[in-house]
Structure 1
Amino acid sequence: MNQKQTELTTASGSIPIEASVTIGEIPASDCTQDKEYFIRQAFHVNALTGYELLFRQYYGSLCSHAARYVYTREVAEDLVSEVFYTFWKNQAYLQINTSFRAYLFASVRYKALNYLKWEFFKEDHFELQEDGETGGTPEPDQILEYDELYMYIEKIAASLPPQCRKVFLLNRFEGKSYAEIAKAMGVSVKAIEGHMSKALAVFRKALTAYRMPGK
């Protein structure tokens, strides 16, 4: 059977993924409604097939999850792509005993948290790692750190003036340009720049003053 191939390109490299998934070789008895089980069985038959099914199943929701932390869709997509790249490079599907979903969401939270540490706390050690440090089951103190930081970010966003918050979310979460936001809100681009400058200043000040657990 001919199969067209595409590539998932990340900052670290490219991964070939099949444009059309072939599942005919998977026994019908194994095709249950449990998507995790189905994907795991696909990996047993063909690693690329399983990988593409996994990518299609979780990529969108993982990007939305990451964007809740980093407040920019572009960065969120980069972080998620790096997680998938590491997953494939390290053949994590051979090692994961818990659900793929739990592993991927934990990995994305770890990446997002490290990104925030780098952006706001200027920690020099941050980088989009490729060595498998991203994943698996987070430790209890990491879970607490994720939750506390997320709630703190939500609190900062909620404290912004309504127009300022709207501009910030449209730009950083939905990826709209200043010109697009200005047109939608019926104001000048300069006004949008002012709102964004104020929002970012509030975030930087609040997050710089924030003390991470264990710091």
Structure 2
Amino acid sequence: MIQIGIIDAFPIIRIGLTILLKEAYKDAEILAASNLDSFLSEHRNIRARAVIIGICENAKEDKLLMIRQFRNECPQVPLMIYDHQFQPELVPSYFMSGVTGYVLKHQNENQMLTCLNRILKGEHYLSPELTSNFVQRIVENDKNPTRHQRRLTPYEFEIAVRLCRGQSSPFIAEKLGRKPTSISSARKTIFRKLNIHSIVDLRKAINLDPEQA
């Protein structure tokens, strides 16, 4: 028997995915929950082979923090993100935080199953369509001379995203287990690397709108 977890706020999506997965994996046991806390509470002692987390359009939770929390609790379980829209500015942080597969909700079921099959084999997966889109964004950015300075580390990029969300240095420090002075220092480094002077400039520099954060 293979156990697969589904975490999504919408019951109809959980039901649809359950039907799809049971058709694809005849011996599958589906462990479904509306949020991560409920999933960990209800299935803490169950060893799922993979977990799918659905990202909602108006999600209020801190997505990167949620991924980190899941990875801390279930370090060996492959994790797939099932996103409402492609967010290329967040994809690197998703994978660096422990995501192993990334697909979109509007893609067909074959992409979902291909992604799941790949991560069950211990591989990472980003669909060809999204990979092409992601690479094109990088190429377009690199054509802009000012973008050549924009080489943030994964740590700096996560702080940059959090700053764009309006989070303060003390709040970010608490979430990341760092000192506020370390976050302030990282902020100065980010601004220097990007040659910017404000959070508004930062959002433009990493192509992150407040609604997407």
Compare the two structures and name the one with the higher strand fraction: 2
Compare the two structures and name the one with the higher helix fraction: 1
- TM bracket (short chain): 0.3 to 0.5
Q: Name the TM-score, length of structure 1 as normaliser.
A: 0.33
The structure with the largest alpha-carbon Rg is 1
Q: Give the structure, 1 or 2, with the largest relative contact order (CA under 8 Å, sep 6 or more).
A: 1
